[in-house]
Amino acid sequence: MLPYEVQGTPDARVEIVRAANRFRTDTDWLESRHSFSFGHHYDAANTHFGLLLVNNDDVVAPGTGFETHPHRDMEIVTWVLSGQLVHQDSQGHAGVIYPGLAQRMSAGTGILHSEKNDAYRLLGGDPGSDPVHFVQMWVVPDESAARPGYEQLEIPDAMLRSGLVPVASGMSRDAGTAAIRIGQRHAALMVARLAPGEAVHIPDAPFVHLFVAAGSVDLEGSGRLDTGDAARLTGGGGRRVTASAGAADGSDGAEVLVWEMHARLAA
């Protein structure tokens, strides 16, 4: 077992993390914004929240990407916001991930994979000039040294516009839903695409991570959150999240990614 602990209801707290205050990695092919310590960016006070260790907001230039690299003992969920991302791994999986297609890779005992903005290589056609924008999230699994695995599933746009939809979950209550399965029974990722004025309610859980992937929202009791902003809610379920019009990124409405977690990494 990995060192995490089931958490009861902690004292209520909301921490707002603004997009501009995230760690940044900028190269000639990558713009990456890290919600937590990642790579050479380290802050002992900001290593994780609940079970979530990584929430990377990445933009990869066309024809480039992450070359083959290893992972182990991690549940990795990728959600594309725009463009196309090509995944290939040492277990023989290869495919193109696009908006609305949820992907999970269980690293387990060890897996090698690459992620590139070169879909033309598999699909044919011109290389194109569009970047790919995606959010990649890592949570710790229930057990270490599990068998590596992979799953992807398309979530219909109409479903995503009907409220918070589980797109990746290990929770028993989500068995048989549209969600892909992750090897962490105390966590679920939900996504909603909201028109201006539409609202959803934050799940009632000890730890909830709200990330505004696009647009802007009003978080009840905490005010406006814009693209790239996040709220870390401890013991604060049930708050209303309402999409706004006229977001700073030029969009109306919002797309939000919400992690519901009923455990945390052990101290």
The pair of three-digit structure tokens given for residue 30, joined into one six-digit string: 């990558």
Instruction: Domain 4-265: give its CATH code.
Output: 2.60.120.10
Who has greater pLDDT, 128 or 65? 65
**pLDDT tens profile 30-55:** 999 999 999 999 999 999 999 999 99
| Predicted local distance difference test score (pLDDT) of residue 1 | 43
Could you please report the per-residue DSSP string of 208-265?
Answer: EEEEEEEE-EEETTTEEE-TT-EEEEES-TT-EEEE-SS-TTS-SSEEEEEEEESEEE
Strand partners, 88: 94, 114
| Predicted local distance difference test score (pLDDT) of residue 124 | 62
The pair of three-digit structure tokens given for residue 13, joined into one six-digit string: 């707290």
Helix (H) or strand (E) holding 160: helix 157-160
**pLDDT tens profile 158-180:** 999 999 999 999 999 888 887 89
The structural domains of the chain, with segments of one domain joined by +, span 4-265
Who has greater pLDDT, 93 or 59? 59
Could you please report the per-residue DSSP string of 18-59?
Answer: -GGGSEEEE-SSEEEEESS-BTTB--TT-S-BTTEEEEEEEE
From CA 94, how far away is CA 88, in angstroms rounded?
4
